[in-house]
Structure 1
Amino acid sequence: MNKTKLGIKKEPALGHKKLLVLGYVWPEPNSSAAGSHMLSLIQFFLNQGYQITYASPAQRGEHKIDLTQLGVEEVPIQLNSCSFDELLITLNPDTVLFDRFMLEEQFGWRVTKHCPNAIKILDTEDLHCLRQARQAAFKRHQKHKDRPFTLDDLHCDVAKREIAAIFRCDLTLVISDYEIDLLQEHFKVPEQLLFHCPFMLEMNTHSASGIDYQDRQYFISIGNFRHEPNWDAVLWLKQSIWPLIRQQLPKAELHIYGAYPPPKATQLHNPKQGFLVKGWAEDAKQVMENAKVCLAPLRFGAGIKGKLAEAMWCGTPNVTTNLGMEGMHMGKPWPGYITELTHSIDLKQHAKDFAVKAVELYQNQTSWQQYQSLGYELLIANFDKELIQQKLASRLNSIGLGLIKHRNDNFIGQMLQHHHLKSTQYMSQWIEAKNKLI
């Protein structure tokens, strides 16, 4: 992957600070918003003068970028292996970044044991407990017409694991302001352990799209097929929403893009219906910029949506649900139409509402142009890389200068760290010993 194409510049090292990133996956910025966000964080630490090692136990995907082009060392690691201890001792990092709570669970105790003075940062990407609880509630309601999602659904094992990991770390990066509020108000996580870190976009390089309304022809939906909310959105489009749109716009096309489409997705491809499953887009911005309207009918999920940020960047207004725009508008007018998805509304009626708004936006040039301008304004207000990175650098510097007090003020974290160190350490060592006998 060409690093110039990614809009990333390799910066010279400014110091000798060391960062170890423990990745849940190898970054694929052209496949998912999580990959793009991780790449932004890597660029931030490079600009701060860090020497970076990216380590992951995951298999390398076909769309993985080559981090070595940026001067980042890539190291494959194993679960439940003392070889990771040797890596820690050799690197002796000043900072460790865990990519999602599962990596903190697996490797956090080893970091605490061998690098007790390293600042530990957790990047949530989205709150997994919120996404999974919403998905379970939606599926339950769809099947049994049971009660809707409530905050009581968050009192599950995933939440207990995820919140514990947040307390054990010195700082947690949270991508959504809604999730910041949820963590503070519902789970009582102290403000000093959290940092609101949405998408960091190069707004100083952004320019308005040169492709006008009349030159755009199709609807678009885009998202990694391995992400369950995206797959559910595609199915809902196919089964309920798109037929209603085609009744009013019989020549319209919907182009479906996304990495790793399974056979069950490609089988939905139907040119006669204008439902075109395109799969992987090598240049997502190009296909987005040529689309007239972005459709994101998300019925569950968490975090914020890369597809909608990309649509705004490309000057493509959108139609989405209240869950789709959650955590993104931050009080600013939304650059498109929103349908309110609640369990009190019939899904057939919601599909009709979504289709009506999609057709209206597709046909109304005046509204379309107004929403395009609002999209540019929202990006500048909420996702300016320079402003976010200045705040993040300041927070990390403050934590580093007062790390002992910062940790002493987090007694719950110390308590969880103590028990986690014992229980997880012994379980991991037992698995390691067992593996040696196989």
Structure 2
Amino acid sequence: MSLPKNRLLVIGCVWPEPNSSAAGSRMLQLLQFFLGEKYEITFVSTAARSEFAIDLENMNIASEVIRMNHSSFDELLRQIQPNFVVFDRFMTEEQFGWRVDENCPEAIKILDTEDLHFLRKSRIEAFKKNIPAENIYFDADITKREIASIYRCDLSLIISKAEMELLQNKFEINPRLLYYLPFMLNSISEEEALNLPNYQERNNFISIGNFLHEPNWNAVLYLKEEIWPLIRKELPDAKLIVYGAYPSQKVWNLHNEKEGFIVKGRAETAEAVMQQAKVCLAPIRFGAGLKGKLVMAMQCGTPSVTTTMGAEGINGALNWNGFIVNKPELFAAEAVRLYTDEKLWAEAVQNGHAIINSRFKKEKHQQKFATKLAGLLENKDVYRKRNFVGKMLQYHKHRSTYFMAKFIEEKEKNKKTAGHN
């Protein structure tokens, strides 16, 4: 029995939860792309399976929980014999990349960065210290780890053009190793746009985002303490409905019916609650990648007010679907204007649809990506010969990780042996 032409192994950092985070939506889009290209897919992760994760079996995708620092993964690789491996974030490449190289040296290794972790972490620290992020990320260990991972892979998927420019201009990474692949979304037709709830059918402001993600928690706290009181002063009957997966007690503590600040926690369907809202508020002060909530707002015909950081990488030269402002007083004023001016609101909706249709068109990105992968598979030897830094980093990483993994493996064996005696 011959093996399928294209066999893909995806090593997930977590199990994909599209309704919980933009990262989950991104992974689902990638899986759907590979399924459309007739890849046979196996998805594995060391994380515990989540009740909110997508049903991979229903998508005809094999899945398995794997163990770190254990030779059973080598056996799995030999069994699957993937010719493509996608690492979900650089941490999985660090953990399993050397095993892929040892057991499937011909496999094309693709790193899906989701967002640049070193950039997000550095921006969080820079925000707290009130200094430029550049002062932090060049010297940070996480930067060295993530950049090294990019070099060790054949191709790294970068979700934002701003991050592409950073990697090429600041870190001088060869563009050949990077590939711009944003969200891949269905275009919005005129008929679909007309079927969305209109201005009169909507109520309330909305904030949404996974609370395990620190930028989201910070944005909601910022809303509560500085922005929402200014909005309520102008609109005393307005409500802000706050949604987000995995809220902690400190999030629930912000709930205040009297102030119109309503914390709901996880939304059963994020798109449904977004379509019910009149305006989305996202005063994001640090982060990286593309903000899924703002892209989803555009899809749902919901205008938004955000910051320069929130809009980064989304609209390019196109007009935003609302306003991009950074000062709390101006943020509140523009939110009120957007909420109360139906004509302005309708124009913002159209702007959002134009951004989706021109920058995230699924067919265009899928076709280009398929062509890129075919070329990479055909010319991988040429690609690899020109990436000497990657070869050098592979060599050193492999030796250190190999011996550490073997040490841990032997330690676990000895524990079991001692337990039987």
**TM-score normalised by L of structure 2:** 0.95
- Deviation for aligned residue 1:62: 2.6
Corresponding position of 1:299: 285
Q: How does 1:39-78 map to 2 (within 5 A)?
A: 39-78=28-67
Q: Distance in 2 between matches of 1:306 and 1:149?
A: 22
Residue pair 2:188, 2:353 contacting (<8 A) in 1 also: no
Corresponding position of 2:185: 201
Residue pair 2:199, 2:345 contacting (<8 A) in 1 also: yes
- Determine if the alignment matches structure 1 residue 126 to structure 2 residue 111: no
Does the C-alpha gap of structure 1 residues 204 and 353 become closer, same or farther in structure 2, counting only changes over 3 Å? closer
Q: How does 1:340-351 map to 2 (within 5 A)?
A: 340=326, 350-351=327-328
Residue type of the alignment partner of 1:203: S
Q: How does 1:180-191 map to 2 (within 5 A)?
A: 180-191=164-175
- Deviation for aligned residue 1:436: 2.1
- Determine if the alignment matches structure 1 residue 407 to structure 2 residue 384: yes
- Determine if the alignment matches structure 1 residue 365 to structure 2 residue 342: yes
Q: Distance in 2 between matches of 1:382 and 1:96?
A: 27
Q: Identify which of 308, 314, 319 aligns with 2:294.
A: 308
Corresponding position of 2:360: 383
After TM superposition, the runs of 4+ consecutive aligned structure 1 residues lying more than 3 A away are 151-154
Corresponding position of 2:237: 251
- Determine if the alignment matches structure 1 residue 29 to structure 2 residue 18: yes
- Deviation for aligned residue 1:331: 1.8
- Determine if the alignment matches structure 1 residue 157 to structure 2 residue 141: yes
Does the C-alpha gap of structure 1 residues 246 and 100 become closer, same or farther in structure 2, counting only changes over 3 Å? same
Residue type of the alignment partner of 2:55: D
* Secondary structure of the structure 2 residue equivalent to 1:21: strand
Corresponding position of 1:106: 95
Structure 2 gaps, min length 5: 416-421
* Secondary structure of the structure 2 residue equivalent to 1:393: helix
Q: Distance in 1 between matches of 2:242 and 2:182?
A: 25
Corresponding position of 2:215: 229
Deviations 1:158-191 (A, max 9, x none): 0000000000000000000000011111111111
Deviations 1:183-222 (A, max 9, x none): 1111111111111111011226782143111221100000
Q: Distance in 2 between matches of 1:437 and 1:325?
A: 53
Structure 1 vs Structure 2: percent identity of aligned residues?
52
Q: How many residue pairs are counted as aligned between the two chains?
A: 411
- Determine if the alignment matches structure 1 residue 425 to structure 2 residue 414: no
Residue type of the alignment partner of 1:431: I
Q: Identify which of 273, 289, 294 aligns with 2:259.
A: 273
Q: Distance in 1 between matches of 2:132 and 2:378?
A: 46
Q: Distance in 1 between matches of 2:139 and 2:315?
A: 28
Q: Distance in 2 between matches of 1:210 and 1:159?
A: 42
- Determine if the alignment matches structure 1 residue 166 to structure 2 residue 153: no
* Secondary structure of the structure 2 residue equivalent to 1:272: coil
- Deviation for aligned residue 1:152: 5.0
Q: Distance in 2 between matches of 1:400 and 1:16?
A: 12
Structure 1 gaps, min length 5: 1-13, 142-146, 341-349
Residue pair 1:21, 1:55 contacting (<8 A) in 2 also: yes
Residue pair 1:105, 1:165 contacting (<8 A) in 2 also: yes
Q: How does 1:88-99 map to 2 (within 5 A)?
A: 88-99=77-88
- Deviation for aligned residue 1:66: 1.0
Residue type of the alignment partner of 2:247: P
Instruction: Give the superposed CA RMSD.
Output: 1.3
Q: Distance in 1 between matches of 2:196 and 2:315?
A: 24
Residue pair 1:15, 1:49 contacting (<8 A) in 2 also: no
Q: Distance in 2 between matches of 1:152 and 1:231?
A: 22
Q: Distance in 2 between matches of 1:321 and 1:410?
A: 38
Corresponding position of 1:144: none
Corresponding position of 1:38: 27
Corresponding position of 1:345: none
Q: Identify which of 132, 138, 155 aligns with 1:148.
A: 132
- Deviation for aligned residue 1:154: 3.4
Residue pair 2:122, 2:136 contacting (<8 A) in 1 also: no
Q: How does 1:209-228 map to 2 (within 5 A)?
A: 209-228=195-214
Corresponding position of 2:418: none
Residue pair 1:133, 1:154 contacting (<8 A) in 2 also: no
Corresponding position of 1:85: 74
* Secondary structure of the structure 1 residue equivalent to 2:302: coil
- Deviation for aligned residue 1:15: 4.8
* Secondary structure of the structure 1 residue equivalent to 2:58: helix
* Secondary structure of the structure 1 residue equivalent to 2:323: strand
**TM-score normalised by L of structure 1:** 0.92
- Deviation for aligned residue 1:150: 2.8
Residue pair 2:20, 2:244 contacting (<8 A) in 1 also: yes
- Deviation for aligned residue 1:130: 0.3
Residue type of the alignment partner of 2:151: F
Q: Distance in 2 between matches of 1:210 and 1:106?
A: 45
